[in-house]
Structure 1
């Protein structure tokens, strides 16, 4: 799927007489595409297969995949890992979010989520969910989970029971491979796996309302494996309105600001 091609309005139907009772529909407005400027670059552990990322009180909380997978607290300024907790070898770590001192993280195919204390990463409890776990964020009252498909799932923050789903579409077409998630100003922002794009999703309708093109953010020669070492990781500092992004095994975490749209 060529993401930018899907940002253009859908192609018109073949010409032909329209029924008199069916006025022509206006062409859909093009989806805005944003660029970026780098504000600052920070060191990032190049061995961290980043799956989830948030910032809390100036400290990054990050989940990593592969074996061993981990959740960790990371000092923003120099990338030093302050604390780390490894998952049991049977779990491949996935997305992560934080709410009121609780860190929620996912596993890929085990259907098991974990809750940690945000201050010291001590385990608190576990929870179950159906299907795969990819990305995770919250809107203040619900966890929002991606599973690699074109669907976002909502879980109650207290009971952790699923309360609903929404299908994500771009120009009316399903958009899958939604990975790491972040809640920003009423929208769900999602990495699209193995691309240089972040999409901005209306959580009520599931429609993509904007695309962020981060092509060229990390020079290609710094990615050891172009299929694995891909853009993944969005952290929003709401208090200071700072946006951070990184990728799997990237040596750098970037603070960026958006430009455009174009």
Structure 2
């Protein structure tokens, strides 16, 4: 995922080829784990079942915007005002900032806040007048004012924090497993959970999330596929394969893994995608 120096020795392993992994995936598919039962409260199903028809989705690049090649991107979201919300990782260097939608570089930030240096920052999301920002292994969610990014509160949780999004009613959180946890947007208390399955097999390594149009979009660590998930059942109803995108050679050969998807408000099929340490955010149409 990133050079080992950025993680403690017990952390996730490193891999810096984010968009050329398909040959590896074909021989050792990381998505397919043993099936498991769903937790309570996610939806109407008792567990992940056969998804039936899973749509094969493709993306076409329609625009490219600058990003920050020093940003270890953990969260990406387009806010209602049109600004981008970006949260980043690395111990002692994690931060969260707002930029214009067409320039995600930190130099273009209109407001920025550093995370306490003891924390490794993870995903973030806007809900109303608040922003929640996760930490990786410290079990702390930081609540911030959406306008100023000043910290207003914090909450604790069990396990790791990876991705986060808001569906307008509840927060949805990933922890690197096949589980999505639903949380109260005011208190961060757990209100339910669901396990994610593709064709009946549990899907692990769920990472950065985007909630849009009643679905959850999830990056999967070490993979160039992005999953579209039914939050009521946990079933994957669409798979977006980004391996055929015409990305520059630097992204293909030297950049870190794909991690970041955000629906562009006011559109039906436009999304922003990026990766860790990428210098570009791509606006794509998904079909």
Find the aligned partners of 1:199 and 1:39 in 2 and give their Cα distance. Answer: 21
Judging changes above 3 Å, is the alpha-carbon distance between structure 1 residues 102 and 28 closer, same or farther for their aligned structure 2 residues?
closer
Match of 2:251 in 1: 222
Alpha-carbon displacement from aligned partner over 1:136-184 (angstroms, at most 9, x marks no partner) = 0122121110000000011112232111111101110110000000111
Find the aligned partners of 2:117 and 2:146 in 1 and give their Cα distance. Answer: 22
- Conserved in 2, the CA contact under 8 Å of 1:6 and 1:170? no
* Aligned-residue CA RMSD (Å): 2.2
Match of 1:123 in 2: 151
Judging changes above 3 Å, is the alpha-carbon distance between structure 1 residues 28 and 107 closer, same or farther for their aligned structure 2 residues?
closer
The gaps in structure 1 that reach 5 residues or longer are 8-26
What SS is found at the alignment partner of 1:137?
A: strand
Point out which structure has higher relative CO (alpha carbons under 8 A, 6+ apart): 2
1:233 is displaced (CA, Å) by: 0.8
Q: Which has the higher strand share?
A: 1
Match of 2:99 in 1: 74
Detail structure 1 runs of 4+ shifted over 3 Å in the superposition: 1-7, 27-30, 223-226
What SS is found at the alignment partner of 2:64?
A: strand
What SS is found at the alignment partner of 1:158?
A: coil
Find the aligned partners of 2:151 and 2:160 in 1 and give their Cα distance. Answer: 21
Match of 1:213 in 2: 241
1:122 is displaced (CA, Å) by: 1.2
Find the aligned partners of 2:125 and 2:240 in 1 and give their Cα distance. Answer: 21
- Select 2:259's aligned residue among 232, 237, 242: 232
Judging changes above 3 Å, is the alpha-carbon distance between structure 1 residues 50 and 41 closer, same or farther for their aligned structure 2 residues?
same
- Conserved in 2, the CA contact under 8 Å of 1:39 and 1:257? yes
Match of 1:157 in 2: 185
Match of 1:62 in 2: 86
Match of 2:10 in 1: none
Q: Which has the larger radius of gyration?
A: 1
- Select 1:51's aligned residue among 74, 77, 81: 74
Find the aligned partners of 2:112 and 2:66 in 1 and give their Cα distance. Answer: 17
Find the aligned partners of 1:6 and 1:29 in 2 and give their Cα distance. Answer: 21
TM-score by length of 2: 0.77
What SS is found at the alignment partner of 1:46?
A: coil
Judging changes above 3 Å, is the alpha-carbon distance between structure 1 residues 28 and 121 closer, same or farther for their aligned structure 2 residues?
closer
- The total of aligned residue pairs comes to 238
Bigger mean CA offset, 234-243 vs 143-152: 234-243
1:81 is displaced (CA, Å) by: 2.1
The gaps in structure 2 that reach 5 residues or longer are 1-24, 32-49
Find the aligned partners of 1:4 and 1:182 in 2 and give their Cα distance. Answer: 27
- Conserved in 2, the CA contact under 8 Å of 1:223 and 1:250? no
TM-score by length of 1: 0.84
